[in-house]
């Protein structure tokens, strides 16, 4: 019979030798076990508000973990590396306990259009304020779908570095009326040129932008000029565009 996470965390051997635990429990990374155990020992204290998952888990362990009420205070979650397939991503996005999550980072997770659509169609996307999809093999078409989604209006920070995006993605972002509240934007290490920089610099939708990161993009001198002399971007915006 499987145990609840409260029962697992109450196990006195949890922080010691986990070899006696079933596979689905032993597979839980030590950092996650420690955080859950701390929450069990102090049931009225807030758990750590941010966690990183960088170890692949069996489906059963991931599903049980993401239904653990001990994670209900989590506000930031980072998934580092190819530790989730599309099914695992769907399990993550469907978690009923991540109701306070505001920042989601996926780094090195190959989404594809199926994974991207799964993200955009869930309740979780509606509550996210900071979204980072780094090196996730995204396409310009996915970015167009993302910024056309009305729920994107809740975003304050959007980072899409290292995805091979082009000026087409930059144009979609620059013209999206759903990103009017965006304060931070990173398109670093993509294939955006001076034309994309010009679109971003002229965007009336990005007036609230405070940070713009185009480092590693081949925008050249002309692109830097577009950004420097922009009449729409705030003069207070901190731009990073060394190429």
Name the average pLDDT for the chain: 81
Q: Tokens in use for 125?
A: 């996307």
- What pLDDT is recorded for position 72? 81
- What pLDDT is recorded for position 18? 47
- What pLDDT is recorded for position 39? 45
Closest CA to 140 of 88, 78, 187: 187
Per-residue model confidence as pLDDT tens digits over 177-198: 999 999 999 999 999 999 999 9
Instruction: For residue 152, give Cα distances in angstroms to 131, 172, 176, 177.
Output: 10, 13, 9, 9
Please tell me the least confidently modeled range out of 30-44, 117-131, 210-224: 30-44
Closest CA to 79 of 43, 115, 113, 45: 115
Q: Tokens in use for 110?
A: 């190959």
Question: Which CATH number applies to 48-240?
Answer: 3.80.10.10
Please tell me the least confidently modeled range out of 34-48, 150-164, 166-180: 34-48
- Which of the four pLDDT bands, split at 50, 70 and 90, describes residue 36? low
Please tell me the least confidently modeled range out of 64-73, 151-160, 161-170, 195-204: 64-73
Q: Which backbone phi and psi does 127 adopt, to 5 degrees?
A: -105, -5
Q: Which backbone phi and psi does 91 adopt, to 5 degrees?
A: -60, -45
Q: Mean of the pLDDT values across residues 75-80?
A: 90
Whole-number Å distance between alpha carbons of 232 and 73: 38
Going from N- to C-terminal start, the domains of the chain cover: 48-240
Whole-number Å distance between alpha carbons of 55 and 22: 17
pTM: 0.81
């Amino acid at each position: 019979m499987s145990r609840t996470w409260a029962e697992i965390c109450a196990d006195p051997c949890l922080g010691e030798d986990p070899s006696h635990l079933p596979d689905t429990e032993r597979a839980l990374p030590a950092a996650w076990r420690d955080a859950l155990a701390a929450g069990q020992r102090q049931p009225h204290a807030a758990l750590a508000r941010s966690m990183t998952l960088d170890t692949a888990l069996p489906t059963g362990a991931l599903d049980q973990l993401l239904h653990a009420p001990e994670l209900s205070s989590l506000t930031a979650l980072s998934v580092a590396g190819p530790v989730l397939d599309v099914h695992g991503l769907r399990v993550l996005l469907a978690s009923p306990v991540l109701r306070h999550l505001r920042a989601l980072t996926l780094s090195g997770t190959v989404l594809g259009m199926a994974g991207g659509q799964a993200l955009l169609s869930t309740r979780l996307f509606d509550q996210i304020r900071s979204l980072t999809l780094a090196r996730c093999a995204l396409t310009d078409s996915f970015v167009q779908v993302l910024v056309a989604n009305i729920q994107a209006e809740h975003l304050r920070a959007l980072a899409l570095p290292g995805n091979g995006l082009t000026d087409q993605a930059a144009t979609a972002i620059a013209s999206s009326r759903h990103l009017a509240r965006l304060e931070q934007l990173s398109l670093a290490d993509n294939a955006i040129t001076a034309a994309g920089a010009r679109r971003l610099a002229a965007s009336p939708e990005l007036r609230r932008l405070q940070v713009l990161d185009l480092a590693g993009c081949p925008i050249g001198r002309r692109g830097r000029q577009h950004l420097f002399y922009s009449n729409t971007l705030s003069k207070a915006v901190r731009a990073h565009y060394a190429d």
